[in-house]
């Protein structure tokens, strides 16, 4: 999708479709009844005139994601005018605007429209922020997961060109251009991640994932090393290998390094990702119903690869290393069995109670390795537990943090990125559940508080390094389409992580 900026008066712009946001300003207070209940977010009189009738007809309410398409709007050079509802004006922010841009893309592409112009709301959000949100939302909305439909090429409905209309000329054109490019980099990286996650396990093996990371790294000029079983054994990654040993597909340890000149040497961020390219559960096999979804169990790793892509292009001055542990989790004659004891890279012994609790095993060694590489702060992302879905549903991802200061930084980044996440606890009381009769700890405990148990397990391997764990099991895959995003891989956490990394810039 091509993107370009325009500062023309919206009504004077020639386009297939002009998109304008409308907001609901209705108030409960009866004394304010004569104020307009729905406002159009453009000061262009011609635009206001063109929408006057449809607004006064009460057909347009401003309700979030409501779309109204008008043809040949009077007084406008645009062929069509699309009004998108942004909900209550009081709560409207860049996060809503991002979704509206996605909604506009998905509404228009389904009508075979290939290009449009989006008017940045004038008062609701600062211009640079609004512009970035629109670019991000539009790219995310343009993603279509139907990769293997044989009529995909005929049906390929995508927006080719997006014009973003900024009002007035008081803005610093260079700053706006930069905001647009940044939005594009982040959103394309999010779609890069979604692309990896969307592939089924026969087309996204650990080896293929490593190749894709290498290819991306070469394109953006970043260092990428990929290793196989030999290196995993040589590093004594007994927990990672315990999972990998059951599969005929070789595992991959993927290391991406971003080390810019001028970065402070005191800070070295480590991003660790779970990339189980298919999770059958192993010998503790999962029920058949819904097992096909376990192809997205590599989403945490795919997220970290996408974050590194964005970082390499945005070039913040902060050192970042990503460690991605890729493997299948299979039952076989070589597979680990319940009761087996594995010695992790850190030297800690683990009694395997349930081979389906494999994510924490691969991450345990990933975290140790990131520490060995010198990382001073760790973040991991993983589709780790069904229990986080019980706790937070499909709406919020779970955040766990061992360090409050680091959490504050992450929470700020998360707010900027407009992604929904919620902090869960890591009290010492939960630690009792880790006890094993035979080893230092078990890999799975009671059913209750399962997401917290998994996080407590990981904490043992982050040791004293400040660490954040993101459990994205309920949010990495959209169970249904939304107005702004297709059903399928969501790319959750990437934007927050990119913001988080940028926040450490020296």
Q: Name the closest residue to Zn ion (Cβ).
A: 279
- Residue closer to ligand BES (CB basis): 249 or 297: 297
CB of 354 to Mn ion, least distance (A): 8
Q: Which of 315, 318, 321, 307 is nearest to 419 (CA)?
A: 307
Task: Say whether 360 is catalytic.
Answer: yes
Q: Which does 354 bind (CB under 5 to 8 A by kind): Zn ion, Mn ion, ligand BES, none?
A: ligand BES
Q: Which of 10, 238, 300, 359 binds Zn ion (CB under 5 A)?
A: 359
Residues 127-156 that bind ligand BES (CB under 6 A): none
Q: Which residues bind Mn ion (CB under 5 A)?
A: 279, 356, 358
Taking CB under 6 A as the binding criterion, the range among 42-50, 103-111, 179-187, 354-362 that sits at the site for ligand BES is: 354-362
Q: Which of 188, 279, 328, 419 binds ligand BES (CB under 6 A)?
A: 279
Q: Which of 188, 356, 365, 419 binds ligand BES (CB under 6 A)?
A: 356
Angle at 484 between CA 55 and CA 473, to 5 degrees: 145
Q: Which of 70, 357, 441, 462 binds ligand BES (CB under 6 A)?
A: 357
- Cα 403 to Cα 306: distance, rounded to the nearest angstrom: 25
- Residue closer to ligand BES (CB basis): 42 or 383: 383
- 201 scored as a contact of ligand BES (CB under 6 A): no
Taking CB under 6 A as the binding criterion, the range among 105-113, 239-247, 351-359, 416-424 that sits at the site for ligand BES is: 351-359
- 242 scored as a contact of Zn ion (CB under 5 A): no
The structure tokens 């006890």 sit at: 435
- 380 scored as a contact of ligand BES (CB under 6 A): no
- Cα 90 to Cα 98: distance, rounded to the nearest angstrom: 16
H or E segment and range at residue 350: strand 349-351
Other CB atoms within 10 A of residue 449 CB: 19
Token duo for residue 444: 């799975």
- 279 scored as a contact of Zn ion (CB under 5 A): yes
- The residue annotated as part of the active site, out of 48, 178, 286, 415, is 286
- Cα 354 to Cα 119: distance, rounded to the nearest angstrom: 53
* Collapsed DSSP state (helix, strand, coil) of residue 180: helix
- Report the DSSP pairing between strands 377-382 and 467-471: parallel
Task: Say whether 286 is catalytic.
Answer: yes
Task: Please report, to the nearest 10 degrees, the dihedral formed by the alpha carbons of residues 280, 285, 288, 290 taken in order.
Answer: -50
- 441 scored as a contact of ligand BES (CB under 6 A): no
CB of 280 to Mn ion, least distance (A): 8
DSSP string spanning 110-174? TTT--EEEEEPPSSSS-HHHHHHHHHHHHHHHH----TT-TTHHHH-----EEEEE--SS-S-HH
The residues that are catalytic are 286, 360
The residues of the shown chain that bind ligand BES, judged by CB under 6 A, are: 279, 297, 354, 356-359, 383-387, 389, 444, 450, 473
């Amino acid at each position: 999708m091509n993107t370009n900026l325009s500062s023309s008066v919206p009504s004077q712009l020639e386009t297939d479709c002009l998109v304008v946001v409308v907001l609901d300003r209705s108030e409960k207070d009866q004394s304010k009844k004569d104020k307009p209940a729905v406002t159009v977010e453009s000061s262009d009189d011609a635009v206001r005139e063109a929408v006057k009738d449809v607004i006064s007809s009460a057909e347009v309410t401003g309700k979030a994601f409501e779309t109204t398409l008008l043809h040949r709007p009077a007084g406008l050079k645009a062929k069509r005018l699309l009004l998108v509802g942004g909900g209550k004006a009081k709560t409207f922010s860049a996060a809503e605007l991002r979704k509206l841009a996605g909604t506009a893309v998905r509404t228009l592409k389904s009508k075979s429209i290939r290009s449009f112009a989006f008017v940045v709301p004038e008062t609701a959000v600062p211009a640079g922020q609004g512009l970035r949100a629109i670019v991000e939302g539009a790219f995310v909305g343009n993603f279509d997961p139907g990769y293997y439909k044989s009529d995909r090429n005929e049906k390929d409905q995508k927006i080719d060109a997006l014009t973003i209309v900024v009002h007035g000329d008081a803005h610093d054109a260079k700053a706006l251009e930069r905001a647009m490019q940044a939005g594009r980099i982040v959103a394309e990286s999010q779609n890069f991640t979604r692309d990896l996650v969307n592939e089924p396990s026969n087309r996204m093996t650990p080896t293929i994932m490593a190749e894709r990371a290498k290819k991306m790294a070469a394109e953006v000029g970043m260092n990428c090393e990929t290793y196989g079983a030999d290196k995993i054994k040589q590093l004594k990654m007994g927990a990672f290998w315990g999972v990998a040993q059951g599969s005929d597909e070789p595992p991959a340890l993927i290391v991406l390094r971003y080390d810019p000149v001028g970065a402070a040497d005191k800070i070295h961020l480590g991003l660790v990702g779970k990339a189980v390219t298919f999770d059958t559960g192993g010998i503790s096999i999962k029920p058949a119903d819904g097992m096909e979804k376990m192809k997205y169990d590599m989403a945490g790793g795919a997220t970290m690869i996408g974050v590194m892509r964005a970082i390499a292009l945005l070039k913040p001055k902060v050192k970042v290393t990503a460690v991605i542990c890729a493997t299948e989790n299979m039952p076989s004659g070589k597979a680990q069995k319940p009761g087996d004891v594995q010695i992790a890279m850190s030297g800690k012994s683990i009694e395997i109670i349930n081979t389906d609790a494999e994510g924490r095993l691969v991450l345990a060694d990933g975290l140790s390795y990131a520490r060995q590489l010198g990382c001073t702060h760790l973040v991991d992302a993983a589709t780790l537990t069904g229990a986080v879905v019980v706790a937070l549903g499909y709406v919020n991802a779970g955040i766990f943090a061992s360090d409050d200061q680091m959490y504050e930084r992450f929470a700020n980044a998360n707010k900027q990125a407009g992604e929904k996440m919620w902090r869960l606890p890591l009290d010492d009381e939960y630690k009792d559940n880790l006890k094993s009769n035979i080893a230092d700890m078990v890999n799975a405990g009671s059913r209750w508080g399962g997401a917290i148990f998994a996080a407590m397990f990981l904490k043992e391997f982050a040791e004293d390094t400040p660490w954040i764990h993101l459990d994205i099991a309920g949010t990495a895959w959209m169970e249904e389409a939304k107005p702004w995003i297709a059903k399928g891989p969501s790319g959750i956490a990437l934007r927050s992580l990119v913001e988080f990394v940028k926040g450490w810039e020296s």
